[in-house]
Amino acid sequence: MSTILVATEIRQGELKSINLEVFTAAVKIAKEINLTTTALLSGKNAASLAEIPAKYGIEHTVVVEDAKLEKYSPDCYAAAIAEVARQKDAKVILMGATYTGKDLMSRAAQILDTALAQDCTAYRAEGGALRFTRPMYAGKVRAEVRVASAPVMATFRAKTFKPEENPVAAKVEKLQLNLPEPLTVLEAIETAAAGKLDVSEADLIVSGGRGMKDPNTPEGKENWANLEKLAELIGAATGCSRPVSDDGWRSHDEHIGQTGKTVSPMLYISCAMSGAIQHLAGMSSSKCIVAINKDPEAPIFKAADYGIVGDIAQVLPAMIEEVKKLKARD
């Protein structure tokens, strides 16, 4: 029987949550359009993760370990996806829309001469055909698209699905493939400060704008310290608007928006940002948005579920106190 193939991304020996989200999506879709499910794990140590897909309901797991996959290279990894898709008669190929996922799936689509629906936030199965929803124009419109060739390929934006455990017996198979010589060489991976959660992977985000003030001033220093304290208390990642990272107040990897990262966390607390359209483009799909701004006319309030009109210098400390009280009662 034909299958849905889920291509995975292994980072530092781990299958990050986005892979589990896509497993869950694949299991749901497979039921609706009557296909089996297969996960592909490629690269060094892939075998050590082979039991995980079955925990999320994936029936078959293919492990490809090859000297050419020792280090990540997009062309070689894409060739592996395409080859496994051919061998396993994949009708649908899915992957998480990380930066790497988007790149790899475009390449695999080129090899397989099919099309890719990129960065989707929903799907619909109707009469055996899949349709995908993808935000365009930085989320100002949503398009429904269909891939009119085989296999159907799509990447899903992080946090589109919640991983659901659904254990089945693991059927693991090791495949030897004939892979091309990698064209690029991965020399090193530089990671952000240890333990720092990236905004694109976070369930909760506390984010600051220019109204937080320059952290080199006493007022700004206090505000940003409070923002970090609140983030730590609730286990959130910290983000910022573009001018904040442009001015070097915060590091570039925190920049959210049209030209930065796109996030859709459970909770986004926006502190002293105006809510410019280019910023909203990166965070308006958050499930719950709290806005704090001293200007009641600030556009961010239009996007917010809860808004507090007030000075950040007073509101943040008050929030910290309230959350502490709440946590003390837990």
Partner 1 sequence: MNIAVCIKQTPDTTTRVKIADNGKSIMEEGISWIVNPYDEYAIEEALQLTEKHGGEVTIISLGPAGIEKTIREALAMGAHKAIRIHADNIPADPAVTAKALAETLKSGGYDLIFMGRQAVDDDHGQMPALISQALNLPGVSMVVKLTIEGNKGTALREIEGGHEKVSFNLPAVIGANRHLNVPRYRSLKGIMQAKKIPIEVKQAPLTAEKLLLEKMEYPPAKQSGKIFATGVEAVPEVVRLLREEAKVI
Ligand X SMILES: Cc1cc2nc3c(=O)[nH]c(=O)nc-3n(C[C@H](O)[C@H](O)[C@H](O)COP(=O)(O)OP(=O)(O)OC[C@H]3O[C@@H](n4cnc5c(N)ncnc54)[C@H](O)[C@@H]3O)c2cc1C
**Using CB under 6 A, which of 44, 102, 171, 294 touches ligand X?**
294
By CB under 6 A, residue 108 contacts ligand X: no
**Using CB under 6 A, which of 258, 267, 317, 320 touches ligand X?**
258
Instruction: Determine how β-strand 129-136 pairs with β-strand 237-240.
Output: unpaired
Judged by CB under 6 A, the chain residues 14 through 43 that form the site for ligand X are: none
Six-digit token pair at 305? 């579920």
Residue 45: left (phi > 0), alpha (psi -120 to 50), or beta? left
By CB under 6 A, residue 293 contacts ligand X: yes
Size of the site for partner 1 (CB under 8 A): 92
Annotate each residue in 240-279 with x if it binds partner 1 (CB under 8 A) or - if it does not, as one string: ------------xx-x--xxx-----xx---------xx-
Going by the DSSP 8-state scheme, the letter that residue 164 receives in this structure is -
By CB under 8 A, residue 225 contacts partner 1: no
> In terms of CB distance, is 70 or 246 closer to ligand X?
246
**Using CB under 6 A, which of 7, 273, 290, 304 touches ligand X?**
273
Six-digit token pair at 248? 């070097």
Single-letter amino acid, residue 112: L
Burial class (CB in 10 A: 0-12, 13-18, 19+), 230: buried
Residue with tokens 């004939």: 178
By CB under 6 A, residue 274 contacts ligand X: yes
295 contact, one of partner 1, ligand X, none, CB 5-8 Å limit per kind: ligand X
Judged by CB under 8 A, the chain residues 273 through 302 that form the site for partner 1 are: 277-278, 281, 284-285, 287-290, 296, 301-302
Going by the DSSP 8-state scheme, the letter that residue 49 receives in this structure is G
Query: Could you tell me if 177 and 66 are in contact, meaning their C-beta atoms sit under 8 angstroms apart?
Result: yes
Six-digit token pair at 235? 């286990």
119 contact, one of partner 1, ligand X, none, CB 5-8 Å limit per kind: partner 1
